[in-house]
């Protein structure tokens, strides 16, 4: 096969055979000799003082190995969970960072908060004994909505934040925005709620730890999106363990969507307990624990105002957002409603002045962190809902008001910090309109009306910043870690290749996409390339997979390592062919002397590197193994246009998605089959947010009302349509693959497109998500 | 109290001694170490634990192992031929990219086989309706529906 033939091909996935035959190995599938089982005792109250814990009955129960509480961890100097991003308040003070103990100390602050853990010989014994742990709670008043938590007199969660405020942060030129508003011909305003979501990867979180007394090494198997960061945080900041004596393995992971990025209390507790009790300890979440204690997503309340001139040119955007952090700061919580949100408020538009102020509040709810899109769906929802509203206020076509305001020249510096390198927003919108047959919409609407149905059409033109992140930029914005990626290319003597990547696949298909990149570059068969990930014992370092960064950052690290392999190979080949190194070229899997027919295949150079009988020992070491770290110069900026057409039945309030068209610009595409699959999944999660999903806590008691799949409606096959997918390409200008990232786009763009369509159908200004039949029905009947 | 159970799993006779409250899925995963059958929700909502019991798709997290006494059970591990050739439904999922993280996949495939058996040559609408007992968070169902449609022409009824 020719060298570049793998790029752009829908290569079938290498990982599928094991998943289809039941041979995948997820964390809960791992069984260790003498393994014990952990069950956590969780707070049934949203806010309660813990007066005492009596574990005597539990300790006496059959099979119980031990019980641990917060006091045990404190005594053993196990610290709380850290937050990886410092946000500085508008008054120059650091954000409030309350202690986040792995097992509660003194107080429980949300339903599901970890109070104790019971470890027993079997899971049933641990489960039974957990019921016997007696916790003396004094129930305290609770607050679950961020807006309420900020009101005077609201119950305070943490002594260091008596007003429940984590920070107020702002970006943009307030003076310029105020001035533009003063001169505006028209201002559109909208109050927007971005509903709280519960991620619900179908594989529940799980962690199994083992300690080896001979080597004094820990191994933690964990359903994680970034095992190296997990190890770093756990060893350096929480447990004080030697990092080189801890191995973290994230084997097959059954979906993440953000929820498995973070270091969780359970991971720390089982690792500690494994040494404490000298037994392997396994914990696997029940689904109700996933609902209660996985980091949730979104949960913003926003006021948005858009100033325009008389022709609908955007002059300024003013945004005030209150963001719910939950009870504690999760690993990346603080940067989601700030750095990953407000910097995207320019959208695809040349709005010259933007100001956004964000206040983040603590509440008696599960911690909130990144969930597929992480800040960017919230930003897109604000921008695309207010733009659609502005079009209606101005009586302009919603596509035309967008086109009028599109950024058309690149690079483009937005007023909210980002520098877009490239894009063609008109191209995706035009293609989406064509694929969606917008021209035929009026006829379809008339037909719906004839049948007594309401039809609506909605657009969303999103942008996202992916490929996180240039470390220097992230550091200046408060990141407490670098955000590069690492890769290693190990060429074996036979010319077969193992690649180690710091990215992690939990459904994205890296074993295939990355292998395509490697096989294409080396001109070898894809079967001869194996991609390894998810094991700190194998991979030199990694920052993990989130923010659609894997190919743009992790893939580029591999490309850089490949460049080094090829450079070294040229030297070896030059020696073998008795040619000048500068005359040696590498193409189609062979080293050639330019202008001659001399040629040596890649595998022969590999063999020479390991059997160096005829080798330039004076210039080179033997072996062919290279690694590289890549720190991106800029974010990448995937963008696209979505068109959604709905039909609403006014009798029942049921919304049917008649068609959903997504045209994305992800830059160059390595595997279109995988990219389309990512879009399908993202769209469905976005549609879930808009139509079916909504986390509810009882406002009085703080109980999680949507605590199971019976109460929290994940979209099912009959809730969503088949999609129309298209792509347009402007290649990213600053990575060698020209790629941008595709994992989150659907979840970012879909909610606004769908809600724009439903509000269009109903003729209402706004509607809360999820637009369940009841919500829609009430809106229709309130109106009439 | 423990009880003895015996049944046929993937064509082989198996026995075990388990607590009475043991669920079928736990017996399959823990006692038989057939870990291809997954637990996603514990409440029969997600379908990751779907197996075939006496030829019907059943959610194995929702029945006791004692209820499967004497039954003929098939799990995902038993689908492919001895020489490794995939079942047409497995092959269709691979061909049409009907899986991403793979966690819901075994249950999806087991359900899908039952679906095309009970609804030969199903329409897209029928597939979507009948798939309503299985959750997938990755694929958005688009390619699963395509795979089942494609396989329905090939799977023997």
Give the closest of A257, A710, A720 to B141, CB-based: A720
Claim: this prediction has a pTM higher than 0.95 = yes
Q: Is the pLDDT assigned to residue A233 strictly greater than 70?
A: yes
Q: How far apart are CA A716 and CA B127, in angstroms?
A: 12
Substitution target in B65, B142, B149, B151 with the highest count of A β-carbons within 10 Å is B142
Q: How far apart are CA A9 and CA A513, in angstroms?
A: 10
Question: What is the predicted ipTM?
Answer: 0.98
Phi, psi of A457 (to 5 degrees): -130, 135
- For A445-496, strand residue ranges (E) read 454-463, 485-491
**Which structure tokens are listed for A36?**
């014990």
Q: How far apart are CA A415 and CA B50, in angstroms?
A: 52
The domains found in chain B, sorted by start residue, are 2-77 (3.10.20.30), 88-152 (1.10.150.120)
DSSP code, position A653: T
Looking at the domain assignment, is residue A198 inside a domain? no
Q: Is the pLDDT assigned to residue A3 strictly greater than 60?
A: no
Cα B7 versus chain centre, distance: 17
Label residue A464 by pLDDT band (50, 70, 90). very high
Substitution target in B89, B98, B131, B138 with the highest count of A β-carbons within 10 Å is B138
Whether the Cβ atoms of residue A728 and residue A428 lie closer than 8 Å to each other: yes
A605 in the same domain as A727: no
Whether the Cβ atoms of residue A505 and residue A254 lie closer than 8 Å to each other: no
Q: How far apart are CA B6 and CA B9, in angstroms?
A: 9
Judged by CB atoms within 8 Å, which residues 85-144 of B form the interface with A? 86, 90, 93-95, 97, 99-106, 109, 124-125, 127-129, 131-132, 134-144
A90 in the same domain as A105: yes
Whether the Cβ atoms of residue A254 and residue A570 lie closer than 8 Å to each other: no
Looking at the domain assignment, is residue A126 inside a domain? yes
Q: Is the pLDDT assigned to residue A321 strictly greater than 50?
A: yes
Buried b (16+ CB within 10 A) or exposed e, A189-207: ebebbbbbbbbbbbbbbbb
Q: Which residues of A touch B149 (CB under 8 A)?
A: none
A770 in the same domain as A664: yes
Chain A: nearest CA to B96, how far in angstroms? Answer: 8
Q: Is the pLDDT assigned to residue A1 strictly greater than 60?
A: no
A229 in the same domain as A378: no
Closest CA to A102 of A69, A55, A66, A64: A69
Cα A694 versus chain centre, distance: 19
Label residue B1 by pLDDT band (50, 70, 90). confident
Give the closest of A677, A708, A718 to B139, CB-based: A677
3-state secondary structure of A375: coil
Closest CA to A294 of A339, A331, A337: A331
A254 and B144: CB-CB below 8 Å? no
The pLDDT of residue A784 is 57
Residue showing tokens 């390409």: A729
CA–CA–CA angle A743, A744, A745 (5° rounding): 105
Give the closest of B29, B101, B139 to A203, CB-based: B101
Whether the Cβ atoms of residue A142 and residue A43 lie closer than 8 Å to each other: no
- DSSP state letters, A409-442: SSSEE-TTS-EE----HHHHHHHHHHHTTGGGHH
Substitution target in A11, A12, A16 with the highest count of B β-carbons within 10 Å is A16
Give the residue on B whose Cα is nearest the Cα of A16: B94
Average pLDDT of the residues of chain A: 97
The pLDDT of residue A2 is 45
Q: Is B19 on the interface with A (CB under 8 A)?
A: yes
Q: Which residues of B touch A17 (CB under 8 A)?
A: 86, 94
Q: How far apart are CA A9 and CA B119, in angstroms?
A: 34
Whether the Cβ atoms of residue B86 and residue B109 lie closer than 8 Å to each other: no
Residues with Cβ < 8 Å from A197, sequence gap 6 or more?
A296, A297, A298, A371, A688, A689, A693, A694, A695
Cis amide linkage into residue A770, ω under 30° from 0: yes
Number of compact structural domains in chain A: 3
Q: Is A722 on the interface with B (CB under 8 A)?
A: yes
Q: Is A212 on the interface with B (CB under 8 A)?
A: no
Q: Which residues of A touch B140 (CB under 8 A)?
A: 680-685, 720, 723, 746
Q: Is the pLDDT assigned to residue A164 strictly greater than 60?
A: yes
Mean pLDDT of B30-35: 97
Q: Is B153 on the interface with A (CB under 8 A)?
A: no
**Which structure tokens are listed for A277?**
């009790």
Looking at the domain assignment, is residue A182 inside a domain? no
B35 and A22: CB-CB below 8 Å? yes
Average pLDDT of the residues of chain B: 96
Give the closest of A254, A257, A718 to B129, CB-based: A718
Q: Which residues of A touch B74 (CB under 8 A)?
A: none
Q: Which residues of A touch B105 (CB under 8 A)?
A: 19-20
- For A43-99, strand residue ranges (E) read 48-54, 64-69
B94 and A28: CB-CB below 8 Å? no
Q: How far apart are CA A356 and CA B135, in angstroms?
A: 38
Could you report the per-residue pLDDT of A166-176, keeping only the tens digit for each?
999 999 999 99
Q: Which residues of B touch A15 (CB under 8 A)?
A: 102
Q: Which residues of A touch B99 (CB under 8 A)?
A: 16, 19-20
Whether the Cβ atoms of residue B52 and residue B42 lie closer than 8 Å to each other: no
Residues with Cβ < 8 Å from A650, sequence gap 6 or more?
A452, A453, A454, A777, A780
A558 in the same domain as A461: no
Label residue A542 by pLDDT band (50, 70, 90). very high
Q: How far apart are CA A145 and CA A490, in angstroms?
A: 52
Looking at the domain assignment, is residue A178 inside a domain? no
The last residue of one of the domains, among A284, A308, A332, is A284
Whether the Cβ atoms of residue A235 and residue A241 lie closer than 8 Å to each other: yes
- DSSP state letters, B52-100: EETTEEEETTSSBGGGGTT-EEE-GGGTS-TTSPPPHHHHHHHHTT--S
Q: Is B41 on the interface with A (CB under 8 A)?
A: yes
CA–CA–CA angle A81, A84, A85 (5° rounding): 135
Whether the Cβ atoms of residue A378 and residue A298 lie closer than 8 Å to each other: yes
Mean pLDDT of A295-299: 98
Domain holding A626: CATH number? 3.30.365.10
Chain A: nearest CA to B47, how far in angstroms? Answer: 10
The pLDDT of residue A782 is 87
Looking at the domain assignment, is residue A189 inside a domain? no
Label residue B153 by pLDDT band (50, 70, 90). confident
The pLDDT of residue A161 is 98
DSSP alpha helices (H): ranges in A114-262?
A: 123-130, 146-149, 174-182, 227-232
Residues with Cβ < 8 Å from B45, sequence gap 6 or more?
A287, A708, A709, A710, B135
Judged by CB atoms within 8 Å, which residues 379-438 of A form the interface with B? none
Whether the Cβ atoms of residue B128 and residue B95 lie closer than 8 Å to each other: no
Could you report the per-residue pLDDT of A29-76, keeping only the tens digit for each?
999 999 999 999 999 999 999 999 999 999 999 999 999 999 999 999
Looking at the domain assignment, is residue A626 inside a domain? yes
Distant-in-sequence contacts of A28-31, Cβ < 8 A, 24+ apart: A28/A203, A28/A204, A28/A206, A28/A208, A28/A282, A28/A284, A28/B35, A28/B39, A29/A251, A29/B29, A29/B35, A30/A208, A30/A221, A30/A251, A31/B30, A31/B33
Give the closest of A22, A201, A722 to B137, CB-based: A201
Looking at the domain assignment, is residue A155 inside a domain? no
Give the closest of B36, B46, B86 to A202, CB-based: B46
- DSSP state letters, A261-286: SS--HHHHHHHHHHHHTTS-EEEE--
Judged by CB atoms within 8 Å, which residues 487-546 of A form the interface with B? 506-509
Give the closest of A202, A673, A684 to B140, CB-based: A684
Whether the Cβ atoms of residue B15 and residue B4 lie closer than 8 Å to each other: yes
The last residue of one of the domains, among A600, A630, A660, is A630
A18 and B143: CB-CB below 8 Å? no
Give the closest of A124, A252, A723 to B19, CB-based: A124
DSSP code, position A205: P
Domain holding A108: CATH number? 3.90.1170.50
A255 and B100: CB-CB below 8 Å? yes
Q: Is the pLDDT assigned to residue A529 strictly greater than 80?
A: yes
Give the residue on A whose Cα is nearest the Cα of B47: A202
Give the closest of B131, B134, B142 to A723, CB-based: B142
Chain A: nearest CA to B70, how far in angstroms? Answer: 24
Q: How far apart are CA A347 and CA A312, in angstroms?
A: 16
A577 in the same domain as A705: no
Q: Which residues of A touch B134 (CB under 8 A)?
A: 717
Q: How far apart are CA A563 and CA A542, in angstroms?
A: 19
A38 in the same domain as A16: no
Range of the domain at A734: 300-469+634-783
Phi, psi of A677 (to 5 degrees): -60, -40
H or E segment and range at residue A325: strand A314-326
A625 in the same domain as A656: no
Mean pLDDT of A600-609: 98
A673 and B40: CB-CB below 8 Å? no
Q: Is B51 on the interface with A (CB under 8 A)?
A: no
Length of chain A counted residue by residue: 784
Whether the Cβ atoms of residue A691 and residue A655 lie closer than 8 Å to each other: yes
Could you report the per-residue pLDDT of A474-493, keeping only the tens digit for each?
999 999 989 999 999 999 99
The last residue of one of the domains, among A284, A309, A333, is A284
DSSP code, position A97: -
Phi, psi of A35 (to 5 degrees): -70, 140
Give the closest of A253, A257, A717 to B145, CB-based: A717
A507 in the same domain as A560: yes
Looking at the domain assignment, is residue A186 inside a domain? no
DSSP alpha helices (H): ranges in A150-298?
A: 174-182, 227-232, 265-276, 287-293
Q: Which residues of A touch B33 (CB under 8 A)?
A: 31
Give the residue on B whose Cα is nearest the Cα of A291: B41
Residue showing tokens 């396994």: A282
Buried b (16+ CB within 10 A) or exposed e, A127-147: ebbbebbebebeebebbbbbe
**Which structure tokens are listed for A314?**
């955007």
Mean pLDDT of A91-101: 98
A312 in the same domain as A267: no
Q: How far apart are CA A747 and CA A743, in angstroms?
A: 9
Could you report the per-residue pLDDT of B85-112, keeping only the tens digit for each?
999 999 999 999 999 999 999 999 999 9
Q: How far apart are CA A629 and CA A542, in angstroms?
A: 9
Substitution target in A19, A121, A252, A255 with the highest count of B β-carbons within 10 Å is A19
A395 in the same domain as A317: yes
A638 in the same domain as A619: no
Q: Is A744 on the interface with B (CB under 8 A)?
A: no
Q: Which residues of B touch A21 (CB under 8 A)?
A: 36, 76-77, 79-80, 86, 90
Closest CA to A635 of A430, A420, A405: A420
Q: How far apart are CA A178 and CA A194, in angstroms?
A: 25
């Amino acid at each position: 096969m020719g060298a570049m033939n793998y790029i752009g091909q829908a290569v079938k996935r290498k990982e599928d055979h094991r998943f289809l035959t039941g041979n995948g190995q997820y964390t809960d599938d791992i069984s260790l000799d003498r393994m014990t089982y952990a069950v956590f005792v969780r707070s049934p109250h949203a806010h309660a003082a813990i007066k005492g814990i009596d574990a005597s009955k539990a300790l006496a129960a059959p099979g119980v190995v031990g019980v641990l509480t917060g006091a045990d961890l404190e005594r053993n100097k196990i610290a709380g969970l850290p937050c990886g991003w410092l946000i500085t308040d508008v008054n120059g003070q650091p954000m409030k960072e309350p202690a986040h103990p792995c097992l509660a100390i003194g107080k429980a602050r949300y339903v599901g908060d970890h109070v104790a853990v019971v470890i027993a010989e079997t899971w049933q014994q641990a489960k039974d004994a957990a019921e016997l742990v007696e916790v003396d709670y004094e129930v305290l008043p609770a607050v679950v909505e961020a807006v309420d938590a900020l009101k005077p007199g609201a119950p305070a969660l943490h002594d260091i934040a008596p007003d429940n405020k984590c920070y107020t942060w702002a970006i943009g030129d307030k003076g310029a925005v105020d001035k533009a508003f003063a001169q505006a011909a028209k201002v559109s305003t909208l109050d927007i709620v971005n509903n709280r979501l519960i991620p619900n990867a179908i594989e529940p979180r799980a962690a199994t730890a083992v300690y080896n007394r001979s080597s004094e090494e820990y191994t933690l198997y964990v359903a994680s999106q970034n095992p190296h960061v997990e190890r770093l945080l756990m060893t350096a900041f929480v447990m004080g363990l030697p990092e080189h004596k801890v191995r973290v393995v994230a084997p097959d992971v059954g979906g993440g969507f953000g929820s498995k990025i973070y270091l969780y209390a359970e991971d720390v507790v089982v690792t500690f307990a494994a040494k404490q009790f000298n037994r392997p300890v396994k914990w696997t979440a029940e689904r109700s624990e996933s609902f209660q204690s996985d980091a949730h997503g979104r949960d913003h309340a926003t006021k948005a105002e858009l100033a325009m001139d008389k022709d609908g040119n955007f002059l300024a955007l003013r945004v005030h957002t209150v963001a719910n952090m939950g009870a504690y700061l999760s690993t990346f919580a603080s940067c989601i409603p700030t750095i990953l949100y407000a910097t995207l408020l320019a959208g695809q538009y040349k709005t010259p002045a933007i100001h956004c102020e964000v206040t983040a509040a603590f509440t008696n709810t599960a911690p909130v962190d990144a969930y597929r899109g992480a800040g960017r769906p919230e930003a897109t929802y604000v921008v695309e809902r207010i733009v659609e509203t502005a079009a209606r206020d101005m009586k302009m076509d919603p596509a035309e008001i967008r086109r009028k305001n599109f950024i058309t020249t690149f690079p483009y510096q937005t007023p909210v910090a980002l520098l877009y390198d490239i894009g063609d927003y008109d191209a995706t919108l035009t293609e989406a309109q064509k694929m969606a047959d917008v021209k035929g919409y009026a006829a379809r609407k008339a037909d719906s009306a004839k049948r007594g149905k309401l039809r609506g059409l909605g657009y969303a033109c999103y942008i996202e910043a992916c490929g996180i992140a240039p470390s220097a930029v992230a550091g200046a914005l408060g990141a407490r870690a670098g955000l590069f990626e690492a890769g290693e290319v190990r060429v074996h003597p036979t010319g077969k290749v193992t690649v180690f990547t710091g990215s992690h696949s939990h459904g994205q298909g890296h074993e295939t996409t990355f292998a395509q990149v490697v096989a294409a570059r080396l001109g070898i068969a894809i079967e001869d390339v194996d991609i390894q990930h998810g094991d700190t014992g194998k991979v030199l370092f990694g920052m993990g997979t989130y923010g659609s960064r894997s190919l743009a950052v992790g893939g580029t690290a591999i490309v850089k390592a490949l460049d080094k392999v090829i450079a070294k190979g040229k030297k070896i080949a030059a020696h073998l062919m008795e040619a000048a190194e500068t005359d040696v070229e590498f193409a189609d899997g062979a080293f050639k002397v330019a202008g001659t027919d001399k040629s040596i295949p890649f595998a022969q150079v590999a063999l020479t590197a390991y059997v160096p009988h005829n080798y330039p020992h004076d210039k080179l070491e033997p072996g062919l193994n290279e690694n590289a770290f890549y720190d991106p110069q800029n974010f990448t900026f995937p963008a696209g246009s979505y068109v959604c057409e709905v039909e609403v039945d006014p009798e029942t309030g049921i919304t049917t998605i008649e068609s959903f068209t997504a045209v994305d610009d992800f830059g160059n595409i390595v595997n279109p089959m995988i990219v389309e699959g990512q879009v399908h999944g993202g769209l469905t999660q976005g549609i879930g947010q808009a139509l079916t999903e909504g986390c509810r806590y009882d406002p009085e008691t703080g109980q999680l009302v949507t605590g199971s799949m019976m109460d929290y409606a994940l979209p099912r096959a009959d809730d969503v349509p088949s999609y129309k997918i298209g792509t347009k390409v402007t290649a990213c200008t600053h990575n060698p693959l020209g790629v941008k990232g595709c994992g989150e786009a659907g979840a970012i763009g879909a909610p606004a497109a769908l809600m724009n369509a439903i509000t269009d159908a109903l003729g209402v200004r706004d509607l809360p998500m999820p637009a369940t039949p009841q919500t829609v029905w009430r809106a229709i009947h309130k109106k009439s | 109290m423990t009880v003895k159970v015996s049944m046929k799993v993937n064509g082989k006779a198996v026995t075990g001694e388990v607590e009475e409250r043991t669920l079928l899925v736990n017996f399959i995963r823990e006692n038989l170490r057939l870990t291809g059958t997954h637990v996603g929700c514990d409440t029969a909502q997600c379908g990751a634990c779907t197996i075939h019991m006496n030829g019907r798709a059943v959610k194995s997290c929702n029945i006791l192992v004692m209820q499967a006494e004497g039954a003929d059970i098939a799990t995902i591990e038993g689908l492919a031929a001895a020489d490794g050739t995939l079942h047409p439904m497995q092959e269709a999922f691979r061909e049409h990219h009907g899986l991403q993280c793979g966690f819901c996949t075994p249950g999806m495939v087991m359900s899908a086989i039952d679906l095309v058996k009970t609804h030969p040559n199903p329409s897209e609408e029928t597939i979507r309706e009948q798939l309503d007992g299985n959750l997938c968070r990755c694929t958005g169902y688009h390619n699963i529906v395509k795979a089942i449609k494609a396989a329905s022409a090939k799977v023997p009824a």
